[in-house]
Amino acid sequence: MTPIETLYIALGIIVTVGTLISMSAIGVKWLVKNYLGEIKQELKPNGGGSIKDHINELTNRQTKDEALGKETYLKVEKLDRKLDDLYDKFIEYLTKDK
């Protein structure tokens, strides 16, 4: 084999490897662009159908539930104080000399 033939074979291998790497890179770029584009759309609010909209809805519900929980806790505390007061008055009534 002459040095020119060896050079042609080496250049052919280099061009083939470069082409395969380029095609692979273009394929990966296309996949990333398309799939990340879909994911990107899910992360933007669009009126109810995206993940972002569902997260916002759950956050709003959680905020309302926390407010309701605090309100309920305060009402229970108030009722507990009234019950304690009523119990004290009842004990006082029972122990009162007649």
DSSP assignment of 52-67, as one string?
Answer: HHHHHHHHHHHHHHHH
pTM of structure? 0.47
Query: Is 4 in contact with 11 (CB distance < 8 Å)?
Result: no
Q: What is the band of 12 on the pLDDT scale with cuts at 50, 70, 90?
A: very high
pLDDT digits (tens, 9 = 90+) for 23-77: 999 999 998 888 888 887 777 777 777 888 888 899 999 999 999 999 999 999 9
The pLDDT of residue 6: 92
d(CA 6, CA 95): 116
Helix (H, G, I), strand (E, B) or coil at 33: helix
Residue 79 has pLDDT above 70, yes or no: yes
Strand ranges inside 1-98, DSSP E: none
Q: Give the total residue count for the chain.
A: 98
What lies within 8 Å, CB to CB, of 51 at 6+ separation is 42, 43
